[in-house]
Amino acid sequence: MHENAGLMVPDYSVVVPVFNEAGAAEDLAREIAAAFAGESFEMVFVDDASTDATRASLAALKADLPSLRVIAHARNAGQSRAVRTGVMAARAGIVITLDGDGQNDPADAPRLARRLKAGPETLGLVGGMRVRRQDSLAKRWASRLGNGIRQRLLKDGASDTGCGLKAFRREAFLRLPYFDHLHRFLPAMFLREGYEIDFEAVGHRARTSGASKYTNLGRLFASAPDILGVMWLNSRARNPGAPTEV
């Protein structure tokens, strides 16, 4: 942790978007705190206008977990907007994101964060690749199909861009063009801005509470125009290389 303009700035900010995850959010926050014990960090949970007790349970937990911050959306705006809200509020230069359903294992998060911190400034993102996924067969096949199509069209080198566990540089993220569903295309967008990306194998756990906010069909309908949009953004990119002041 270092001081900046009188504020103590942590090394890492862990951003977690949540929507109707009252059964998972509290345990997840405690697991994140345990995983980063001994590190300089903060947790930023963004409640995307939940209609259950998610917000109240997190607010009550702040007394036990001083590293926890809770930001609430007035209206539901989706996962990408919740991630962006959390990144904008984050104090650290390195941000780690996890899905709010508890299926990402927080124990993997420090490893990705340290790898990014130890890397060169040109390394913008270290993404997780889920192994031994604890999802239904239909969901795994749909994910494999979607990842294959996206990788072929965008050439982003990401075999599992749907993994919510990622570590990236805050400044780099804020340079990216924002659009809904951006969180599914972060590798391609970081490459577009001239950053290097890398990946680490991470664990995956079965959902123990709540329900998925996505369906296979819903993902398909959302992904098709998104991929075309990202292809258009890439076609309009003109990277000047590293600028220097003379």
Computed on alpha carbons and rounded to an integer, the radius of gyration of the chain in Å comes to: 18
pLDDT tens string 89-143: 999 999 999 999 999 999 999 999 999 999 999 999 999 998 877 566 666 666 6
Rounded distance between C-alpha atoms, residue 142 and residue 103, angstroms: 18
pLDDT tens string 22-55: 989 999 999 999 999 999 999 999 999 999 999 9
Rounded distance between C-alpha atoms, residue 6 and residue 237, angstroms: 38
pLDDT tens string 211-225: 665 555 556 666 788
Burial 10-42 (b: 16+ CB within 10 A, else e): bbbbbbbbbbbbbbbbbebbebbbebbeeeebb
Task: Indicate the class that CATH gives domain 8-235.
Answer: alpha beta
Instruction: Indicate the domain borders of the chain.
Output: 8-235
State which amino acid sits at residue 50: S
